Amino acid sequence: MTTKTAAQRGTAVSVKSLAITAICLVLVYVFTAVVNIRLPFAPNGGLIHLGNVPLFVAAILFGKRTGMIAGGIGMALFDLLSGWTLWAPFTLVIVGCMGFVVGAVTEKKKSFPFYLLALLLACAIKIGGYYLAEAVIYQNWVVPLTSIPGNLIQVGAAAIITLVVIEPLRLAACHTILRK
């Protein structure tokens, strides 16, 4: 199959799409690395960060592929580079799924109810995914319960920020695209 044939079938990734995904990935990493607070009450030293904001925005504006790649790799990269290395494979899958689901739910319906549904599903994935990851890592089904409040705060704060900024960002992106 030639490149032209692949592009016609929609299987090729454009340079623009690749660049947008890379920028979103970096934003997820930076927001996770720079804006974070360690939780004093979690025995495993949980972390609250704002990396979910660019993840959610990327998934809503650019779709499930960008959300999945930017979220999963961006946050797993943070884990690898900041001493949370054991968590990186779990983060890659869990946060990648969060980005995919948010993008899939909001892909065709750009409205507040679908944004809210997508963010609630992302919260469920985060809580369930990290609960299972901690159960595997700590070989205990009780200790992971202490991380649920932090995960709720983290996703809840990111959801509120996202819901406030997404419509102006979406309209600005649409306006920019229409001008070109």
Residue whose token pair is 């996202």: 162
Q: Cα–Cα distance between 115 and 127 in angstroms, integer?
A: 18
Read off the pLDDT of residues 66-80 as tens digits, 9 standing for 90 and up.
999 999 999 999 999
> Is residue 63 assigned to a domain?
yes
Residue 6 lies in a domain: no
Give the structural domain span for 103. Answer: 12-179
Between residues 59 and 9, the one the model is more confident about = 59
Q: Could you tell me if residue 103 is inside a domain?
A: yes
On whether residue 138 sits in a domain, the answer given is: yes
Q: Under 8 Å CB-to-CB from 170, ≥6 apart: which residues? A: 60, 61, 110
Q: What is the pLDDT of residues 11-64, one digit of tens each?
A: 578 999 999 999 999 999 999 999 888 777 665 556 789 999 999 999 999 999
Assigned domain for 1 exists: no
pLDDT tier at 164 (50, 70, 90 boundaries)? very high
Share of the chain above pLDDT 90, in %: 74
CA distance 59 to 51: 13
Contact 58, 69 (CB under 8 A): no
* pLDDT computed for residue 42 by the predictor: 60
Q: What span, in angstroms and rounded, lies between the C-alpha atoms of 178 and 23?
A: 21
Evaluate whether residue 2 is within a structural domain: no
The per-residue pLDDT for 43 is: 58
Q: Residue 14 carries which DSSP code?
A: P
| Three-class DSSP category at 38 | strand
- Position 1 scores a pLDDT of 45
- The predicted model gives 91-104 an average pLDDT of 98
Q: Is residue 165 one of the residues assigned to a domain? A: yes
As for how many domains the chain has, the answer is 1
Q: Is residue 41 included in any domain, yes or no?
A: yes
Q: What CATH number did the domain enclosing 60 receive? A: 1.10.1760.20
**Reduced to 3 states, what is the DSSP secondary structure of residue 36?**
strand
